[in-house]
């Protein structure tokens, strides 16, 4: 089936970025979120991003105009028209399973349901549908318009055809797809989040300041961003969720979240999105 219309679930940072990238790549895009204010924030974010990319010559006016045609909706009423669905809702297992059961009911049987989840089992998500062979992970990275990687995750029942379609779509969106099997954290967060968590332990133990820890990783390891600044960008709540998943599903206490991380999440210090994390914004 030719993919022309992509339906994106979730208008947060990732949903906005995915919608923008799909639109400038020539796809008709509908972005859905149940919170109208979130849709308006997404519209504003996309407009500013397009202006910035156009000013740098990264995209042309035709692509800017295409992204201006994104439809912003607050229900699944038009999802039956979609040729492909990418879910980028909050990283909450119960919510995602509910969404997939609904998508399975409302979309055409041949439509692939892809998730941008950063850690939840695709096999578990697929089990909430009657089309497990057509459920796959497409893990984009922030900021989506600039980051080239898309981690393609196969669930236990994901078909070769579904995988091939997701890989082709990622390439048409200007991304580099890398395949991974369904395992807690996949490849990216299995490696990244424990590194961030260890940096938080180092801060908690007073071995160095946040600035010192990030400087060491940038200057000594050539990382473009320090782990604590990156944690603020990702969201402390997301990192904590991933670490909890890794510890629980892999059964190894080496993935134990740093107490400071949990304390900061409890306090509402979630990083850039709340204006305060390891740094103030």
Q: In what order do the strands lie in the sheet with 135-140?
A: 71-73, 28-32, 5-9, 84-87, 112-115, 135-140, 149-154, 176-181
The predicted model gives 192-212 an average pLDDT of 98
What gap in Å lies between CA 223 and CA 219, rounded to an integer? 7
Task: Give the model's confidence band at 119: pLDDT under 50 very low, under 70 low, under 90 confident, else very high.
Answer: confident
Q: Which one from 49, 116, 118, 121 is the annotated catalytic residue?
A: 118
What are the tens digits of pLDDT across the range 98-114?
999 999 999 999 999 99
Contact predicate 29/71, CB 8 Å? yes
The pLDDT score that the predictor gives to residue 5 is: 98
Hey, CA dihedral for 240, 242, 248, 251, is it positive or negative? negative
Of the residues 5, 49, 139, 188, which is catalytic? 139
**118 catalytically annotated:** yes
Report pLDDT digits (tens) over 65-101: 999 999 999 999 999 999 999 999 988 899 999 999 9
151 catalytic? Reply is yes
pLDDT at 1 over 80: no
Are the C-beta atoms of 119 and 125 separated by less than 8 Å? Answer: no
CA dist., res. 252 & res. 257, Å (int): 11
Residue 269: pLDDT band (50, 70, 90) is very high
Under DSSP, the state recorded for 276 is B
Nearest CA-CA partner of 64 in 30, 38, 25, 14? 25
> 153 with 190: CB under 8 angstroms?
no
Residue 118 has a pLDDT of 87
Do 155 and 125 form a contact (C-beta atoms < 8 A)? yes
How much is the pLDDT for 123?
96
Alpha carbon 244 to its chain's center: 18
pLDDT category of residue 46 using cuts at 50, 70 and 90: very high
pLDDT for the residue numbered 49: 95
Is there a cis peptide before residue 209, judged by omega within 30 degrees of 0? no
CA distance 23 to 242: 29
- State pLDDT tens for residues 212-240: 999 999 999 999 999 999 999 999 999 99
Q: What is the pTM of this model?
A: 0.90
Between β-strands 112-115 and 84-87, what pairing exists: parallel, antiparallel or unpaired? parallel
Q: Where are the alpha helices (DSSP H) in the chain?
A: 13-24, 36-55, 61-67, 93-106, 122-126, 160-172, 188-204, 210-221, 227-234, 236-250, 259-266
189 is catalytic: yes
Q: What percent of the chain has pLDDT over 90?
A: 97
Mean pLDDT of 258-267: 98
Rounded Cα gap, residues 166 and 177, in angstroms: 9
Would you say how long the chain is, in residues? 281
What is the percent of the chain with per-residue pLDDT over 70, rounded to a whole number?
100
Q: Which of 25, 49, 116, 189 is catalytic?
A: 189
Known catalytic membership, residue 5: no
**Catalytic option among 28, 87, 91, 151:** 151
| Per-residue confidence band for 252, with pLDDT thresholds at 50, 70 and 90 | very high
What is the rounded average pLDDT of the residues 267-273?
96
Average pLDDT of the chain to the nearest whole number: 96
Q: Which of 27, 67, 8, 60 is nearest to 172 (CA)?
A: 27
């Amino acid at each position: 089936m030719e993919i022309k219309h992509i339906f994106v679930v979730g208008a947060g940072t990732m949903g906005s970025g995915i919608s923008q990238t799909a639109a400038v790549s020539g796809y008709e895009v509908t972005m859905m979120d149940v919170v109208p204010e979130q849709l308006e924030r997404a519209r504003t974010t996309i407009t500013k991003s397009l202006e910035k990319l156009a000013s740098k010559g990264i995209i042309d006016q035709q692509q800017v105009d295409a992204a201006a045609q994104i439809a912003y909706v607050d229900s699944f009423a038009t999802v039956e028209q979609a040729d492909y669905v990418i879910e980028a809702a909050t990283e909450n297992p119960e919510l995602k399973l509910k969404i997939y059961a609904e998508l399975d009911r409302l979309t055409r049987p041949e439509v692939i349901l892809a998730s941008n989840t950063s850690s939840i089992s695709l096999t578990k998500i697929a089990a909430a549908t009657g089309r497990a062979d057509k459920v796959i992970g497409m893990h984009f990275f922030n900021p989506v318009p600039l980051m080239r990687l898309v981690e393609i995750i196969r669930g236990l029942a994901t078909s070769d055809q579904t995988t091939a379609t997701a890989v082709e779509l990622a390439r048409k969106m200007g991304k580099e797809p890398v395949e991974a099997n369904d395992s807690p954290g996949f490849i990216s967060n299995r490696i990244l989040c424990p590194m961030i968590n260890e940096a938080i332990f180092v801060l908690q133990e007073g071995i160095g300041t946040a600035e010192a820890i990030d400087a060491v990783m940038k200057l000594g390891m050539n990382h473009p961003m320090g782990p604590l600044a990156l944690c603020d960008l990702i969201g402390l709540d997301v990192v904590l969720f991933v670490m909890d998943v890794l510890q629980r599903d892999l059964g190894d206490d080496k993935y134990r979240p740093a107490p400071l991380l949990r304390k900061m999440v409890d306090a509402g210090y979630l990083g850039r999105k709340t204006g305060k994390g390891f740094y103030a914004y």
